[in-house]
Chain A
Amino acid sequence: MAIITMRQAISDALWEEMERDPKVFIMGQEVGVWGGTYAVTKGFLDHFGEKRVRDTPIAESAIVGAGIGAAMVGLRPVSEIMTINFAFVAMDYIVNEAPKMHTMFGGQMKVPLVIRTAGGGGRQLGATHSQTPDAIFAHFPGLKVVSPGTPEDAKGLLKAAIRDDDPVLFIEHAAMYQIRGEVPEGDYTTPIGVSKVQREGDAVTIVTYCKGLQLSMQAAEQLSQEGIEVEIVDLRSLRPLDMGPALASFKKTNRAVIVEEGWPSYGVGAEVATRLYEAAFDYADAPIKRVAQKEVPLPYNAALEQYALAQVEDVVAAVKEVL
């Protein structure tokens, strides 16, 4: 197993899939000459050429819309939206076109499209550029929504997304490209819609994903020093949502904390808590707690922004509260 960065893992997945299947191509702003805003596609243009590494105008609707069309006629596009905040510009295509095609025409058409994008706050980019609106997208049946928290999962899930016959929104975190982790050698995929226990424990179940996984892992280290062993379930996919491991863990620990980066209202935590209550109400020994972002557009000021975002200490505190 090699230890590589999240950036490298995503880059390798794209590269290997493009080598494997000539129908896979990427398009988006600054993916070519610039080498990717987050340097994920550095070197791609030189290697694969302009046909398969397509710089686009600043036109998110067209980036996703054309991706849908190309996918419908047999290509395997990876449309890149620089940040998830700009996905709102392409909202119709992401939620109202891509997820509808297959079902609405009775299964005649398919849209094997991947929309890669980066979300998250904490980089002092202000209110319009710092959001984690994952739950909005996960609301729509017909779309698959994936958001990995480790390099291993990022690589495996991106490969699975590219090979998937349905539209997949692949949400990366703009502040996580440098994190490192072990990645298996050779070709592998990680199934979409399967969550995973990332750390075992018996005291409290933490259900989380993406940046929340990082926070939770750090919180788990601190708690462990105090003799509290938490179990961390990483959702990895928000739709389809696999509740199996979270439910099994909750039945064991009888306590749960859900950690997400976005706002709590109508969010991932709200969904997961409801499902735990629906399926295992009798197992609950304490009310389930949510750790999330304060309900405010994120400010630019660094300290104020961090204050609005969930921190490791918030996770630690929430775990102690449900204990």
Chain B
Amino acid sequence: MALKKKDHLELYRQMVLIRRVEERSAELYQAGKIGGFLHLYIGQEAVSTGIVSVRQPQDRIITAYRDHGVALNVGISAKEVIAELLGKETGISKGRGGSMHMADVTKNYWGGHAIVGAHLPIAAGMALGDQYEGNDGVTICMFGDGATNIGFFHEGVNLSKVWNLPVLWLCENNQYGMGTAVGRASAVEQIHMKAEGYGIPHSRLEDGMDIMKVREAVGAALDHIRSGKGPYFLEVITYRFEGHSMGDPQRYREKDEVTKWEKNDPIGIYHRYIVDEKIATKADLDKIEQTIEAEVAEAIEFAESSPDPGFDTLFDYMYASKE
């Protein structure tokens, strides 16, 4: 799947869009316009952008609460994302879900889930649905390093092998679960090794900051699964530049460590790649950045001027059955 210039520009656009939406969201949070938790994806953009860029439309995707990145990658508009963050009726989850609960089923994006690890068995069930119906879709299940220590993880992963389900277990190892470094919470630091115990083929991508490498690794994993060989486990090393959620005092890591990783900025890496390989010029990329500034500004305006859900809608969506 060789990428053309326009494809590269689109991927670059997505990564910058995520970054800007997150930066502006942090400001909106400080201004008191966003409430609850806000888990930023800054630093991890190459992972979700790479994954979504190689999936087929029939491949489902499901992730945890750090979900704004995937939301934008699958094509939920910045307007709908920011409106959701502001709790507006025009938000992608109609103001019910907030930051942690964004989904767009029409785009085969099954959400943002806030109970750590709970969505893994759910992903297995979605893959079962496709296997059962004879569809060739793969369910891509993204989760954090911290999530691999909860029972849900082990139950879901085991089941996927027992039933040979078409699921890609994709661990985004950003090296911390809240303030707990991987080595302080996981018996093995090579998280992909956990798949060994379940007889599932696995690998680790050391450089999850490089979108080209993410695409390659995820593409190979999807091919493996689509060929009927059952589940695959891919661990991708990445780093979250900001706190776990807003207001994280970050006592658990040194500023130097963050600074070191910031030098590996996935957007910077991709920028360099595009220019060095002469795929596009710096001017092309600058133009994208400007367009995005405008798009995000417009999205915020849209969100702020959108209505709150009415009190008369409180009980809407409680049950799917109409009577």
Interface residues of A (CB under 8 A from B): 29-30, 33-35, 55-62, 85-86, 89, 123-129, 294, 296-297, 299-304, 307-308
| CA gap between A126 and B114 in the complex, in Å | 9
Interface residues of B (CB under 8 A from A): 35-37, 87-88, 93, 95-98, 100-101, 114-118, 146-147, 149-152, 177-180, 184-186, 249, 251-252, 308-309, 311, 313-315, 318
* Residues on B with beta carbons closer than 8 Å to the beta carbon of A300: 35-36, 87, 93, 95-98, 101
Given contacts A124-B98, A128-B114, A294-B314, 6 further A-B contacts (CB under 8 A): A57-B149, A61-B150, A124-B35, A125-B37, A300-B36, A303-B308
**Minimum CB–CB distance for A290 against chain B, Å:** 18
- A-B contacts, 8 listed (Cβ < 8 Å): A34-B179, A57-B146, A123-B35, A126-B36, A126-B101, A296-B314, A297-B318, A300-B87
Instruction: Please tell me if the beta carbons of A35 and B180 are within 8 angstroms of each other in the complex.
Output: no
Instruction: Please tell me if the beta carbons of B185 and A57 are within 8 angstroms of each other in the complex.
Output: yes
Known contacts A56-B185, A57-B150, A302-B35; decide if A33 and B114 are in contact (CB<8 Å): no
Q: Which residue of the partner chain, among B98, B101, B149, B180, contacts A33 with CB atoms under 8 Å? A: B180
Chain A residue at minimum C-beta to C-beta distance from B187 = A57
Secondary structure class of chain A's binding surface, majority of residues: loop
Instruction: Please tell me if the beta carbons of A307 and B314 are within 8 angstroms of each other in the complex.
Output: yes
Instruction: Please tell me if the beta carbons of A304 and B311 are within 8 angstroms of each other in the complex.
Output: yes
* Residues on B with beta carbons closer than 8 Å to the beta carbon of A58: 116-117, 146-147, 149-150, 177, 185
Instruction: Please tell me if the beta carbons of A301 and B308 are within 8 angstroms of each other in the complex.
Output: yes
Instruction: Please tell me if the beta carbons of B179 and A30 are within 8 angstroms of each other in the complex.
Output: yes
Chain B residue at minimum C-beta to C-beta distance from A303 = B308
Chain A residue at minimum C-beta to C-beta distance from B311 = A307
Instruction: Please tell me if the beta carbons of A126 and B97 are within 8 angstroms of each other in the complex.
Output: yes
Q: Which residue of the partner chain, among A55, A89, A125, contacts B180 with CB atoms under 8 Å? A: A55
Known contacts A30-B179, A124-B98; decide if A308 and B314 are in contact (CB<8 Å): yes
* Residues on A with beta carbons closer than 8 Å to the beta carbon of B184: 55
Known contacts A34-B179, A125-B36; decide if A57 and B186 are in contact (CB<8 Å): yes
**Minimum CB–CB distance for B195 against chain A, Å:** 18
Known contacts A33-B252, A56-B185, A126-B100; decide if A299 and B179 are in contact (CB<8 Å): no
**Minimum CB–CB distance for B73 against chain A, Å:** 22
Secondary structure class of chain B's binding surface, majority of residues: loop
* Residues on B with beta carbons closer than 8 Å to the beta carbon of A294: 314
* Residues on A with beta carbons closer than 8 Å to the beta carbon of B149: 57-59
* Residues on A with beta carbons closer than 8 Å to the beta carbon of B308: 301, 303-304
Instruction: Please tell me if the beta carbons of B96 and A33 are within 8 angstroms of each other in the complex.
Output: no
* Residues on A with beta carbons closer than 8 Å to the beta carbon of B35: 123-124, 300, 302
**Minimum CB–CB distance for A38 against chain B, Å:** 12
Instruction: Please tell me if the beta carbons of B150 and A60 are within 8 angstroms of each other in the complex.
Output: yes
Q: What are the nearest 4 A-B pairs in CB distance?
A: A300-B98, A124-B35, A57-B149, A301-B87
* Residues on B with beta carbons closer than 8 Å to the beta carbon of A304: 87, 95, 308-309, 311, 313-314
| CA gap between A60 and B96 in the complex, in Å | 27
* Residues on B with beta carbons closer than 8 Å to the beta carbon of A33: 179-180, 251-252
Chain A residue at minimum C-beta to C-beta distance from B151 = A61
| CA gap between A126 and B184 in the complex, in Å | 29
**Minimum CB–CB distance for A272 against chain B, Å:** 26
* Residues on B with beta carbons closer than 8 Å to the beta carbon of A55: 180, 184-185
**Minimum CB–CB distance for B315 against chain A, Å:** 6
**Minimum CB–CB distance for A144 against chain B, Å:** 26
**Minimum CB–CB distance for B292 against chain A, Å:** 26
Instruction: Please tell me if the beta carbons of A30 and B114 are within 8 angstroms of each other in the complex.
Output: no
Q: From B115, B118, B311, B315, name the one whose CB has the most chain A CB atoms within 10 angstroms.
A: B115
**Minimum CB–CB distance for B112 against chain A, Å:** 10
**Minimum CB–CB distance for B151 against chain A, Å:** 5
* Residues on B with beta carbons closer than 8 Å to the beta carbon of A34: 178-180, 249, 251-252
Instruction: Please tell me if the beta carbons of B315 and A124 are within 8 angstroms of each other in the complex.
Output: no
* Residues on A with beta carbons closer than 8 Å to the beta carbon of B36: 123-126, 129, 300
* Residues on B with beta carbons closer than 8 Å to the beta carbon of A57: 146, 149-150, 177, 180, 185-186
**Minimum CB–CB distance for A73 against chain B, Å:** 23
Known contacts A58-B185, A300-B101; decide if A35 and B150 are in contact (CB<8 Å): no
Instruction: Please tell me if the beta carbons of B314 and A127 are within 8 angstroms of each other in the complex.
Output: no
| CA gap between A307 and B308 in the complex, in Å | 12
Chain A residue at minimum C-beta to C-beta distance from B149 = A57
| CA gap between A297 and B101 in the complex, in Å | 14
* Residues on A with beta carbons closer than 8 Å to the beta carbon of B251: 33-35
